[in-house]
Amino acid sequence: MAPERPPFRSVRPGTVTVIVTVLKDPRVARTLESLLKQTRRPDEVLVDDGGGDDAVRRLTETFTRRDPCVRHLEAPGNIPESRNTALLAATGEFVAFLDADEVAPPAWLEELLRPFADPRIGFTGGPTPAMAGTATTVGARYYDGYLSRFYETVAARKPHALPMGNSAWRAEVFRKVGLLDTTLYRRAASEDQEIAARALAAGFEGRYVPLARVDHDFSDLSVPRLLRKQRVYAEGGYVVWRRRGTTYEASPTVLLPYVLLPLAAIVGALLALLPLTRLLGLVLLALGLGGLGLLALLLTITGLAADRRYPGLRYQALEIPRRWATLWGAFQGLRHYGWHGRGRGAEAAGGALPKP
C-alpha cells in the first residue's frame, strides 16, 4: 500500500512563506523585526514554536498586531518534526527557513528568491556569518572562519551541504519527495542534508547565493559547545551517508591522520607498561604524540595563511578535536543505527523513513 500523502495546504502562486524555527528563545524578536524590513516582504511568517512556555507566543502576538502576516504556530517536537508541522501549514509557493538566532539584512529574501526564475532550481541557500560582536570565544571565532571557507569551497559546489537555517525551497519539492526525515537521530541532525539529497535525486537543482547572507548570533558558542554540535551533526550525517550514499566533507583519506596518530599514542602507552614491549611502546607513543604536534603546527601555519581571507582560521588546530568529535559521532551512528543506517535508532526515533 502506498504511503498516505501528507495533507499539504493549497499553494498561493507567487507567494513566499518564511518559517522561523524557535524553542524558548527570545532572540526571535530580532529575527521577526528583520523580516518586517525586507525589500521583498514575506506573504506569510510562521513562528514555528517547538514548545516550552508561552513566552514565544506572547512575543509573536505583538508582531501579529503590527502585521497579520506573522502567525504563531504550535509545533512541538524536535527540529524536523516542528518544521514538518510548519510545512503542512504553509501556503507559499516558496518556503524560506530562518532560525531564532539569525537576523536577515533587508535584501535577504529578495536575493534568496532570485535564482527561482530558473524553473530547474528547487532550493537555494546563503551564508551565515557571525553577527557583529558575537564571536567572542576562540570556538566562535574559529567556527566563523571555518563556515566562511565552507560556504565558498564546499557548499558552492555541493548544494546538499547548505544548512536549512537560511534557505528557500519550492513548495513543490516537499510535495514531490516528502517531508523532512524524523528518524535520522533522536536529537535531530542532518535532516537538511538528507532532504536536499532527495531533492537532487528527484531532478531539482540547488544554488548557493552568496549575497543572501544572514547574521548568526554566536554569543553562546564555546569550544565545548562547538564539539558537541559537531558530534550531533556527525551522527546524523553518518545515517544520511549510509541511507543516501552521500556526504560532503569527511572522507577516509582526510580522517586518516586523526585516527592513526592518537591510535599510535594509545597503543604505545599500553605497550610501554610491559617490560617486554616497553621500547616499542615508547617509540609508538613518541610517533603518535609527535605526529599530533606536527599536525597541530601544520594546521596553525596553514590557518594563519588563510586567516586574512577567512578570519578565525588562525585557530585551525581546533580541527583535531573537531575531527575527533566527527569520528565519535559517526561511531555512535553506527552503534545506534547499524551499517545500513536503518536499525534500532530509526525505530526509536519514530516516524516513517522516506524512500531512497
Residue-wise pLDDT tens digits, 193-231: 999 999 999 999 999 999 999 999 999 999 999 999 999
State the DSSP code for 97: E
pLDDT value of position 253: 78
Inter-residue long-range contacts of 196-201, CB under 8 Å, 24+ positions, other chains counted: 196/123, 196/159, 196/160, 196/161, 196/162, 197/160, 197/240, 197/244, 197/246, 198/244, 198/354, 199/122, 199/123, 199/169, 199/173, 200/122, 200/159, 200/160, 201/177, 201/244
Q: 267 to each of 282, 325, 326, 331, how far by Cα in Å?
A: 10, 20, 21, 19
Q: Return the domain boundaries, the chain.
A: 12-244, 252-335
Q: Cβ(128)–Cβ(213) under 8 Å?
A: yes
**317: number of Cβ within 10 Å:** 18
pLDDT value of position 187: 73
How many Å apart are CA 190 and CA 173, to the nearest integer? 18
Q: 52 to each of 26, 79, 172, how far by Cα in Å?
A: 12, 14, 32
Question: Cell 506573504, residue?
Answer: 43
| Mean pLDDT to the nearest integer, 39-56 | 94
Task: Give the three cell numbers for residue 177.
Answer: 519527495
Give 230: exposed, middle or buried? Use CB within 10 Å, 0-12, 13-18, 19+: buried
Residue 333 has pLDDT above 70, yes or no: yes
Helices (H), 114-251: 138-150, 171-177, 191-201, 223-244
CA-derived radius of gyration, the chain: 22
pLDDT value of position 248: 77
Question: Cell 498561493, residue?
Answer: 12
Question: Cell 588562525, residue?
Answer: 314
Q: Which of 165, 171, 170, 122 is nearest to 8 (CA)?
A: 171
How many Å apart are CA 173 and CA 195, to the nearest integer? 9
Q: Cβ(240)–Cβ(246) under 8 Å?
A: yes
How many Å apart are CA 226 and CA 143, to the nearest integer? 8
| Mean pLDDT to the nearest integer, 61-85 | 96
The pTM (predicted TM-score) of the whole model is 0.93
Residue-wise pLDDT tens digits, 86-144: 999 999 999 999 999 999 999 999 999 999 999 999 999 999 999 999 999 999 999 99
Confidence of residue 350 (pLDDT cuts 50, 70, 90): low
> What amino acid occupies position 328?
W
Q: Which phi-psi region, left, alpha or beta, contains residue 102 (left: φ > 0; alpha: ψ -120 to 50)?
A: beta
Q: Which of 265, 264, 283, 282 is nearest to 273 (CA)?
A: 282
pLDDT value of position 255: 85
Helices (H), 211-277: 223-244, 252-271
Mean pLDDT in the chain? 93
pLDDT value of position 352: 56
**92: number of Cβ within 10 Å:** 24
Q: Which of 104, 98, 99, 109 is nearest to 39 (CA)?
A: 109
State the DSSP code for 127: -
Q: 270 to each of 258, 283, 284, 286, 290, how far by Cα in Å?
A: 19, 12, 10, 13, 17
The correct CATH number of 12-244 out of 3.90.550.10, 3.30.930.10, 2.30.30.40, 3.30.540.10 is: 3.90.550.10
